[in-house]
Chains A and B, each alone.
Chain A
């Protein structure tokens, strides 16, 4: 399909955006896991 976006920008917006989303998801989940993990690790009975 014809498009006015330069080919270079297209690569960035289409392909890379999917990879970017995956990167954010994985790294964001790691950060969340570290946060909750550290709290859970130190929870003992009454907290």
Chain B
């Protein structure tokens, strides 16, 4: 018995080398690195598609691609960025940090963790292979609205299967995080002592478990409508196409918060560190996060006001949408109050966190404008919507992931990154992301529709400005890759605490931390 246990334990501690280390790994840090590397790769794949879109829109008229391919670009750009870049980015951060933050040796279910990750490349190979199929890649938008999506060629079942695999991966990842936090906290680490990043991830994980099966159900129904003679969404067979939109957005709105709640957690870790003060209003932050998660399930129809619904429905969804501003406002207030009279310094993670607070708030305000029903009738399906969700997702979610990478990279690698280059990356990104997305507000208000490869000449000037911003923002991200690779390869040694104002269990471990984070659980007082 003791012999077999010893062999078992030795097996766990022996890390295979080379490629097999990464294929077979059950270690939370390795899997976190895999997720983050995959996320970065997909960020550039999706970014390349964005460059094609912006190149086509540089001038009015058709320049480079045919309209069908343009539509595939917008569709796959969104799917790749949402499911390939942002979500795996946050899962990677969770894999690296959650066990270290709660004083656990690893994730609760390490083998499932490995499987959760390795499903992703297969899903994206399926999805991206559709570009080479008869009929081309899906082009009906990432929302896959019925009946338009039924016009997809041979790619259709591949799209559905890829979405199912992505859903399974996300649900397994979410279950793993909940099991880890619920069952593996260090002695004394009560729920109300958990770092905000862990809290936001628990709530995100519950959102994933509740919403991803809804997406899976919706696309399964699309599949049976196309191949098995059902008519869930076919009016000809007694079904309802609008019902698809309701089901999709019942998933889609919680999905928005799945992509932003962990960002709140990251900012809540960074701001107190560089303000050298404890987070203001910890418990109100937890309750605000939970409130946002709850509200995210009762606002879905604000995405589809224009399909027509009873006045009571419009009012209900407008009021619930606007209500989300309250807990979100609590968070913004708490971050500002944390900085108030703090001993602030502005290292790169703090710059990205501050950029997040300012620019996410811009995206939040344009969201409020869109949430007002009569105004939405004007803005719907215009570039104003594109500007809104890119402020939320790029200067919100992506900025927070970059802030987190700069914040924790010295902990992960044991080396400091180049601070000057980090700051240069922040300023280049911040200038050009605004050149890219801010004019899109003007375009939308002037009436330019989304998802079109050609447009009226009145929109030419701001589209050109936006495209220049897009190319420059894209180029600026190469600097990020250079900084990360240089830091991984070497540099000034990082201390265990790394940042003067850093507090928490993860900063008690050496940089880089040992293969198994806490083999002896720390006692939290």
Closest Cβ–Cβ distance, residue A37 to chain B (whole Å): 8
CB contact under 8 A between A23 and B183, given known A4-B9, A47-B224: yes
Provide the bound-state CA to CA distance between A15 and B174, in Å. Answer: 21
Q: Looking at the complex, which of B212-220, B302-310, B450-458 is the stretch in contact with chain A? A: B212-220
Residue of A5, A8, A32, A38 contacting most chain B CB atoms (<10 Å): A38
**Can you name 23 A-B residue pairings with CB atoms under 8 Å?**
A8-B518, A9-B519, A12-B105, A12-B184, A16-B108, A16-B183, A19-B183, A20-B108, A23-B178, A27-B178, A31-B209, A31-B212, A32-B213, A34-B213, A34-B214, A35-B217, A35-B220, A39-B220, A44-B238, A46-B231, A47-B230, A47-B232, A47-B237
Does the CB pair A31–B224 fall under 8 Å? Answer: no
Chain A positions 1-47 with a Cβ under 8 Å from a chain B Cβ = 1-6, 8-9, 11-12, 16, 19-20, 23-24, 27-28, 30-32, 34-39, 42-47
Does the CB pair B217–A24 fall under 8 Å? Answer: no
Of B2, B179, B221, B237, which is within 8 A of A23 by CB?
A: B179
Residue of B2, B217, B520 contacting most chain A CB atoms (<10 Å): B217
Residue of A4, A6, A28 contacting most chain B CB atoms (<10 Å): A4
Does the CB pair A24–B210 fall under 8 Å? Answer: no
The residues of A that contact B232 with a CB separation of less than 8 Å are 42-43, 47
The residues of A that contact B519 with a CB separation of less than 8 Å are 6, 8-9
Closest Cβ–Cβ distance, residue A44 to chain B (whole Å): 7
The residues of A that contact B238 with a CB separation of less than 8 Å are 44-46
Residues of chain A at the chain B interface (Cβ within 8 Å): 1-6, 8-9, 11-12, 16, 19-20, 23-24, 27-28, 30-32, 34-39, 42-47
Provide the bound-state CA to CA distance between A45 and B230, in Å. Answer: 9
Residue of A8, A31, A38, A46 contacting most chain B CB atoms (<10 Å): A31
CB contact under 8 A between A38 and B2, given known A23-B179, A27-B175: no
Does the CB pair B108–A46 fall under 8 Å? Answer: no
B182 on interface, CB distance cutoff 8 Å: yes
Q: Which single residue of chain B is at the shortest CB-CB distance from A47?
A: B230
Does the CB pair A35–B105 fall under 8 Å? Answer: no
Question: Which DSSP category, helix, strand, loop or mixed, fits chain B's interface?
Answer: helix
Closest Cβ–Cβ distance, residue A6 to chain B (whole Å): 6
The residues of A that contact B221 with a CB separation of less than 8 Å are 39, 42
The residues of A that contact B109 with a CB separation of less than 8 Å are 20, 24
CB contact under 8 A between A30 and B247, given known A20-B109, A38-B218: no
Chain B positions 234-286 with a Cβ under 8 Å from a chain A Cβ = 237-239, 243, 247
Q: Which single residue of chain B is at the shortest CB-CB distance from A32?
A: B213
B5 on interface, CB distance cutoff 8 Å: yes
The 5 lowest CB-CB distance pairs between A and B, nearest first, are A47-B230, A38-B217, A35-B213, A34-B213, A23-B179
The residues of A that contact B105 with a CB separation of less than 8 Å are 8-9, 12
Provide the bound-state CA to CA distance between A39 and B221, in Å. Answer: 7
Of B2, B175, B213, B230, which is within 8 A of A24 by CB?
A: B175
Provide the bound-state CA to CA distance between A28 and B213, in Å. Answer: 10
The residues of A that contact B230 with a CB separation of less than 8 Å are 46-47
The residues of A that contact B174 with a CB separation of less than 8 Å are 27
Closest Cβ–Cβ distance, residue A2 to chain B (whole Å): 5
Of A3, A5, A38, A44, which is within 8 A of B214 by CB?
A: A38
Does the CB pair B217–A39 fall under 8 Å? Answer: yes
The residues of B that contact A3 with a CB separation of less than 8 Å are 1-2, 5
Does the CB pair B209–A20 fall under 8 Å? Answer: no
Does the CB pair A35–B216 fall under 8 Å? Answer: yes
B521 on interface, CB distance cutoff 8 Å: yes
CB contact under 8 A between A5 and B9, given known A27-B175, A47-B232: yes
Of A1, A9, A20, A47, which is within 8 A of B231 by CB?
A: A47
Q: Which single residue of chain A is at the shortest CB-CB distance from B186?
A: A8
B403 on interface, CB distance cutoff 8 Å: no
Closest Cβ–Cβ distance, residue B50 to chain A (whole Å): 32
B6 on interface, CB distance cutoff 8 Å: yes
Does the CB pair B179–A20 fall under 8 Å? Answer: yes
B171 on interface, CB distance cutoff 8 Å: yes
Closest Cβ–Cβ distance, residue A42 to chain B (whole Å): 5
The residues of A that contact B521 with a CB separation of less than 8 Å are 8, 11
B229 on interface, CB distance cutoff 8 Å: yes
CB contact under 8 A between A8 and B213, given known A23-B182, A24-B109: no
Does the CB pair B179–A24 fall under 8 Å? Answer: yes
Closest Cβ–Cβ distance, residue B182 to chain A (whole Å): 6
Residue of B220, B225, B243 contacting most chain A CB atoms (<10 Å): B220
The residues of A that contact B182 with a CB separation of less than 8 Å are 19, 23
Closest Cβ–Cβ distance, residue B172 to chain A (whole Å): 9
